[in-house]
Amino acid sequence: MEVGFNRNIQPWFKGIPKNGFKRIISLVPSQTELLFYLGVGEQVVGVTKFCVHPKEAMKNASLIGGTKTIHYERIDRLNPDLIIGNKEENTQEMIETLGATYNLWCTDIVDIPTSLSAISDIAWLVGKEEKGLELVTQIKKEQSQLVQYPTKKAAYLIWNDPIMAAATGTFIDSMLSAAGFENGLANLNRYPEINIEVLKEADLDYLFLSSEPFPFKEKHVNFFQEQLPNTKVMIVDGEMFSWYGSRLVLAFPYFKELRNSI
């Protein structure tokens, strides 16, 4: 089944209850953070083990598993009236199984414009359209204030052993571009497994090692720096490059600091 991702084509969305949603489960960390930002955190009854922002999320809500592996029986016990997921971060099996029983909204985010659309949609879902509009406006303002520097070529790694990168067609690729970097692996698609030779051939100015999902450390910086002596290797905040939603307000000032530091 092809997944639809707008207000008119959501195959598992049954509608908004007359009195709004009282029991929400979020399957995605950045969307959990957004729900709390919008002011409906008290209605969030279930989150994943990766929903670390804000701290109240895991403190007040029940854990239902990870973004790709969940405990269906826990969700059944929580009896949600809305589940919010994402096409990339959750599996198709999860979405289809949950959507067959519960009221489910699934976002499809590949770049900054689709992230802003998702913010508006979720704000509409929970009756916080004005707050959502304010957030979208603020994010656009922050983005517009980011000074455009001469473009440098960079690659962004998300995993080690095997080495995996964020290439074309990903949200991270969109954020790299917004930060003023050319993706040195633009000839590849999505999240390819690569080797050190691919990075050498890319002739990179920068190699970014993400702080998540793989927790790159200084020993990894040292390894890649030895292999790529003409490339500046550094650890970057993965949340700023990969979390959509309200975290975007912080991302663009972070990109400004990053560009000023290199």
| Domain shared by 51 and 157, yes or no | no
pLDDT computed for residue 2 by the predictor = 35
What are the residue ranges of helices labelled H in the chain? 29-38, 55-60, 72-78, 92-99, 112-125, 129-144, 171-178, 196-201, 218-227, 238-242, 248-261
The answer to whether residue 147 is domain-embedded is no
Residue at 15 is within a domain: no
Tokens of residue 20, six digits: 């709004």
Q: What is the pLDDT of residue 212?
A: 92
pLDDT for the residue 146? 84
Residue 189 lies in a domain: yes
Residues 160 and 213 in one domain: yes
Cis check for the bond before 17: say yes or no (omega within 30 of 0): no
Do residue 167 and residue 138 come from a single domain? no
Identify the domain boundary among 110, 142, 174: 142
- Same domain? 45 vs 98: yes
Tell me what pLDDT residue 65 has: 96
Q: Are residues 135 and 234 in the same domain?
A: no
Count of structural domains, the chain: 2
Q: At which of 108, 142, 176 does a domain end?
A: 142
**pLDDT at residue 94 in the model:** 95
Supply the pLDDT for residue 220. Answer: 98
Residues spanned by the domain of 182 = 152-261
Residue 13 domain flag: no
Q: What pLDDT sits at residue 260?
A: 87
Distance (Å, whole) CA 35 – CA 43:
9
Say yes or no: 124 and 159 in one domain: no
Last residue of a domain, one of 142, 175, 209: 142
Query: Taking residues 80-85, what's their average pLDDT?
Result: 98
pLDDT tens for residues 115-164? 999 999 999 999 999 999 999 999 999 999 887 777 899 999 999 999 99
